Amino acid sequence: MTVIERSLPYSYSHLEKAAELTLEKEPFTYVQSGAGAEVTLRANEEAFERWAIVPRVLKDVSSRNLSANLLGTHLPSSFMLAPIGNQGILHDEGELASAKAAAAFGVPFIASTVSTFSLEEIAAANGDGSRWFQLYWSSDFEVTASMVQRAETAGYSAIVVTVDMPVVGHRERDLNYQYFPLALGKGAANFLQDPVFQSRLSKSPVEERDVALAELLSVFFEPALTWDKVQELRKITSLPILIKGILHADDAKIAVDLAFDGIVVSNHGGRQLDGCFSSLDALPAIADTVKGRIPVLFDSGIRRGADAVKALSLGADAVLLGRPYVYGLAAGGENGVKHVIEQFIKDFDSAIALTGLTKASDANRSILRKVN
């Protein structure tokens, strides 16, 4: 399948630039920035430069299988689109454009709790595509339960509980601009359209939007969340449950012991705790602990095909693509996301062949060396 929007650039840095030229400075900064001095944001990318692929040759790579299958979901190229909230600040069609683009390539889409469009609207745009729902656990448990049930009804096939945001990271550049999309209502649709959330209000969100947004902010964070509480999700849904935001091998062990269905090794793209471990550096010990008992997904720093090869070699079963696709969204809407997906698949395919592999799932540590 060849698309698309030839005016869009091919490299990550140029895509970022294209997004910067399209957007106002506040929404661009919101996407690009990280917490604190952005040490972790930089470390996520730099960690990939400390691993080098040592390719094998003469392996007949004429036919290649890039796919992964996990938790009943088919990933044609071993990656999914990461949950990214508030996409309406980047393009009017927001998550609808991204979910359509993902479906066109059969790439699974993970919809965020704080999407600009509701999970039902995203499901309609995603159509026959495959999709998971990312859950931010609300301190109003009945709202959490209602959202999970809605996701199940709307054809989402797994729940990804993000646990690295008991509070929001100290994002200095957003603070400088005093720019907080959730407070502006840019990621409120799943709440405003939720019947349980609406029942908490004396007037409808349309009549009293400010009151509704204040209620949203008051129930959004749940700093008291624990492993025990997350386990209660089992009573509400039969869908697979993954835990996103794992960096410590001991937490990976707890996730396995408590029979969660998968984990996402992630530091939220350097947006939460600045100074924490890069995601790639965290991966090997986690993979050694999990030992294949549950799927290990990975994000934070994936920019190119070879990055995905490295993450798979260090023990990930699949990766999530984050900032690259939303820069495509900002610069070119649905076609921009298609462009990014298409190029990422081509790059990944080429990297697999040049590594001397015919199956992405065969990637392992024998083809990697630590450098520097």
Ligand X SMILES: O=C(O)C(=O)c1ccccc1
Ligand Y SMILES: Cc1cc2nc3c(=O)[nH]c(=O)nc-3n(C[C@H](O)[C@H](O)[C@H](O)COP(=O)(O)O)c2cc1C
Alpha-carbon gap, residue 155 to 296, rounded angstroms: 23
Could you say whether residue 323 binds ligand Y (CB under 6 A)?
Answer: yes
Give the residue at shortest CB distance from ligand Y. Answer: 322
| Residue closer to ligand X, measured from CB, 78 or 162 | 162
Alpha-carbon gap, residue 26 to 139, rounded angstroms: 29
Q: Any binding-site annotation on 303?
A: yes
Residue 188 beta carbon to ligand X: minimum distance, rounded to whole angstroms: 10
Of 133, 82, 128, 85, the closest CA to residue 105 belongs to 128
Partner that binds at residue 182, options ligand Y, ligand X, none, CB closer than 5 to 8 Å by kind: ligand X
> Cβ–Cβ contacts within 10 Å for residue 43, how many?
22
Q: Where are the alpha helices (DSSP H) in 109-248?
A: 119-126, 141-153, 172-177, 189-192, 195-199, 209-220, 227-231
Partner that binds at residue 82, options ligand X, ligand Y, none, CB closer than 5 to 8 Å by kind: ligand Y
- Identify the burial level of 177 via C-beta atoms within 10 angstroms of its C-beta, where 0-12 means exposed, 13-18 middle and 19 or more buried: middle
| Residue closer to ligand X, measured from CB, 135 or 286 | 135
| Span from 117-125, 141-149, 284-292, 295-303 in contact with ligand Y (CB under 6 A) | 295-303
Could you say whether residue 88 binds ligand Y (CB under 6 A)?
Answer: no
Which residue from 108, 185, 240, 269 is in contact with ligand Y, where contact means CB under 6 A? Answer: 269
Nearby residues of 286 by Cβ (< 8 Å), 6 or more positions away: 246, 247, 249, 252, 263, 265, 296, 315
Note the residues at the interface with ligand X (CB under 6 A): 85, 114, 168, 182, 268, 271
Which residue in this structure is represented by tokens 């709307």?
A: 154
Could you say whether residue 27 binds ligand Y (CB under 6 A)?
Answer: no
Buried b / exposed e across 296-328, counting CB within 10 Å, b at 16+?
bbbbbbbbbbbbbbbbbbbbbbbbbbbbbbbbb
Kindly calculate the radius of gyration of the chain based on its CA atoms and give it in whole angstroms. Answer: 20
Q: Provide the β-strand partners of residue 296.
A: 263
| Residue closer to ligand X, measured from CB, 268 or 339 | 268
| Residue closer to ligand X, measured from CB, 141 or 221 | 221
Active site residues per annotation = 268
Annotated binding site: 30, 83-85, 112, 134, 136, 162, 171, 244, 266, 268, 271, 299-303, 322-323
Annotated binding site for FMN: 83-85, 112, 134, 162, 244, 266, 299-303, 322-323
* Contact residues: ligand Y, CB under 6 A: 30-31, 44, 82-85, 112, 114, 134, 162, 244, 266, 268-269, 271, 299-302, 322-323
